[in-house]
Amino acid sequence: MRIALLEDDPDQAQLTELWLSQAGHQTLVFNNGRDIIRRTFTESFDLLILDWLVPGMSGLEVLLWVRENIDWPIPILFITQRDSETDVVTALERGADDYMAKPIKRLEMLARINVISRRKCPEENSIRMIKFHPYVIDRQHRQVTHEGNHVPLTDKEFDLALFLFRNSGRILSRGHILESVWGRSAAINTRTVDTHISRLRRKLSLSTDSTDWRLIAIYQHGYRLEQVSN
């Protein structure tokens, strides 16, 4: 998962980032509420982890802004010193998915993140055939068919197609796509994403005049795969 962590305590932020990295997550750390809000204009994330008492904007204010302005229900986990029943209820009622009081335990935090992920993204890796009419993605044989016809794709094109379809409707930043499909590599830049997007759009007939699905560029942000309303 690509995670944005809002935590102004340097030691806590470093430790949490280490735990998340060891679990295979990519984490961007912010120590100011306004900074994480600014980044959401150009980047996309799979999960936000918010402390409550931080400079700029409080974690609760960030939560409220996200729920009012982000059109995808991004999961949000609170990790904070505030542990009263009133605080927990307030955060959950305002749209948080889970709440943990500090000090946190590594395995419990990772387990809660996994639960949130399963709840928000019920599509499990064990499912072989994923259907997005008129497309069928065969994960076992790494093949895509369109209206019953096999579409030849490279390995990275297949990975990109799977990622986009599983996140259809979401605005995905180039950095998010790059990390999720290619992983972190200094030898690869976001132009690689644009090149593969162009090829995939052509091979899967995802142009703006498509009658089924279209893959569109979002100015200064990234891309969104969306189903055309009938």
What does DSSP assign to residue 211? S
pLDDT tens digits, 9-37? 999 999 999 999 999 999 999 999 999 99
Percent of the chain residues past pLDDT 90, beyond the cut = 76
Name which of 98, 198, 2 is nearest 206 in CA terms. 198
Give Cβ neighbours of residue 57 (< 8 Å, ≥ 6 apart).
Answer: 32, 33, 34, 37, 65
| pLDDT, position 122 | 54
Which CATH architecture describes the domain 2-120? 3-Layer(aba) Sandwich (3.40)
Does the pLDDT at position 230 exceed 90?
A: no
Name which of 120, 213, 220, 119 is nearest 164 in CA terms. 213
Bigger pLDDT: 128 vs 225: 225
| pLDDT, position 10 | 96
pLDDT tens digits, 51-84? 999 999 999 999 999 999 988 889 999 999 999 9
pLDDT tens digits, 122-151? 555 557 888 999 999 999 899 999 999 999
Q: Mean pLDDT of all residues in the chain?
A: 91
Measured from the Cβ of residue 84, the count of other Cβ atoms closer than 10 Å reads: 9
Q: From CA 89, how far away is CA 16, in angstroms rounded?
A: 24
Amino acid at 77: L
**What does the domain layout of the chain look like in residue ranges?**
2-120, 129-227
| pLDDT, position 77 | 97
Of 58-67, 152-161, 205-214, the least confident: 205-214
Reply yes or no on domain 129-227 having CATH 3.30.420.10.
no
| pLDDT, position 126 | 56
Q: From CA 8, how far away is CA 32, in angstroms rounded?
A: 7
